[in-house]
Amino acid sequence: MLHILAEFFSAAARRYNQLTMNTATPRVPAIVLHKPLQALNTLGIAASATAYLPVSSYADLQAVRADQSLSTLPRLVLGGGSNLVLSSNFDGLVLHLVNQGKIVVGEDDNYTIVRAQAGENWHAFVQWTLNQNLPGLENLSLIPGSVGAAPIQNIGAYGSELKDFFHSLTYFDFATGEVCVLDRDACRFGYRDSIFKHELRNRAVILEVSFSFPRSWQPNLSYSELANEISARGLITPSAFEISEAVIAIRHRKLPDPAVIGNVGSFFKNPFVAHEIHGALKEKYPQLVSYPQADGSIKLAAGWLIDQCGWKGRSLGAAGVHEKQALVLINRGGASGADILKLAHAIHEDVRLRFGVTLEIEPVVI
Ligand code: EPU
């Protein structure tokens, strides 16, 4: 593993150093003005951007940084647009990562390392890894979005998180103009969290992500709903493909397809509360859904809290709460970002008044 790592880091540095030399005089990028963004965000909000650039290489970013009229604009880095709420038109430059490609870069007796470009579709990438006989990402099947956006919130589902198979990533730093490589520890992954939501927010553009697949794969059936689905299918020793199919079936049953109903998946994070607060809530609400954590805190199911407040299936104007999962807000047609946020605020207040628990919005609000 160490051998692959060292080789990998120096290869990444070499590639980008060559690029730097090739682009000593950066070309002027093909900027689109007044770009509609409705088709580029899965909530389907009709907003636009003052300027837009499809980014297919590091050279595009270098050119933006070198151009004074572009480098001073507010920036929005866009992947699949599946974790984004556009509260108004964006008065700045949208950098839309569209770079494609995925490749096995190295292997030894224990691990295979795969590198994917940021603009790759996440689910298509997961299916590709399974077809390469590289199990590991199956529990993360069908999560909307792009490979480059996945580390930002450390995407997770059905007992698995991106960080479990993450190796390293390469990003362009707008502050310094440098291309940097971060390993797993440096990314400081947490629950729907990473360094890209903190120190590197508004500064880093993730260009490519590498994953490490151990040869000793074991199915992860720790999430009871997935384990139940597998046994309902009569599977005793499921393959990674079979797990992927089961995850896809559960998601189809519970979560709206963004191609049909605008949504960004879970709208709130599941909140953490102290042991004593959990105890008091459990006494009052014996059905409370909660998950004890290793650090002694307790994670509550935000969907359950919102459901108990009677929001499931309800609407406020064109913004609604999904009929099958109260954690998912939906665009019933023509909702603005402000409509969605108004509904989110009403839910936030109801949960706070009833349970004394503060919900935090999961997607990025612009
Ligand atoms: N619940 C209700 N009513 C609801 C929704 C949920 O009572 O309307 C209860 C369920 O019965 C269950 C518990 O709440 O006992 C948890 O629900 P679920 O299994 O659907 O998972 P979740 O905690 O609501 C999280 C992730 C999802 C991920 C699922 C499966 C977050 C914020 N959300 O949802 O991720 O798919 O677990 O692992 O952690 C996303 O991030 O966009 C996302 C969809």
pLDDT at 229: 98
Distance CA 269, CA 261 (A): 21
Nearest CA to ligand 1 atom 11: 304
Ligand 1 atom with least separation from CA of 153: 41
Q: Is 356 left (phi over 0), alpha (psi -120 to 50) or beta?
A: left
- Give per-residue pLDDT as tens, 193-231: 999 999 999 999 999 999 999 999 999 999 999 999 999
CATH number 3.30.465.10 given to 102-218: yes
Q: What is the pTM of this model?
A: 0.93
DSSP H or E segment with residue 291: strand 290-292
Architecture of domain 2-97: 2-Layer Sandwich (3.30)
Percent of the chain with pLDDT over 70: 92
DSSP-derived secondary structure for 192-258: TB-GGGTTTTTTEEEEEEEEEEESS------SHHHHHHHHHTT-SS--HHHHHHHHHHHHHHHS--T
Nearest CA to ligand 1 atom 1: 304
pLDDT digits (tens, 9 = 90+) for 34-56: 999 999 999 999 999 999 999 99
Q: CA-to-CA distance for 321 and 268, rounded, in angstroms?
A: 12
- Read off the pLDDT band of 21 (50, 70, 90): very low
Q: Quote the CA–CA distance of 253 and 182 in Å, as a whole number.
A: 37
Measured CA distances, 101 to 22, 38, 58, 128, 210 (Å):
21, 26, 14, 11, 12
- pLDDT of res. 28: 63
Identity of the residue numbered 122: W
Ligand 1 atom nearest 155 alpha carbon: 41
Distance 304 CA to ligand 1 centre (A): 8
Please tell me whether residue 168 adopts helix, strand or coil conformation.
strand
Q: What is the mean pLDDT of the chain?
A: 93
| pLDDT of 26 | 58
pLDDT at residue 136 tops 70? yes
Dihedral of the CA atoms 9, 10, 16, 20 (nearest 10)?
Answer: 140
* Residue with CA at minimum distance from ligand 1 atom 24: 303
Its CATH class, for the domain covering 262-365, is alpha beta
Q: Where are the domains of the chain?
A: 2-97, 102-218, 262-365
Give the mean model confidence (pLDDT) for residues 246-265: 97
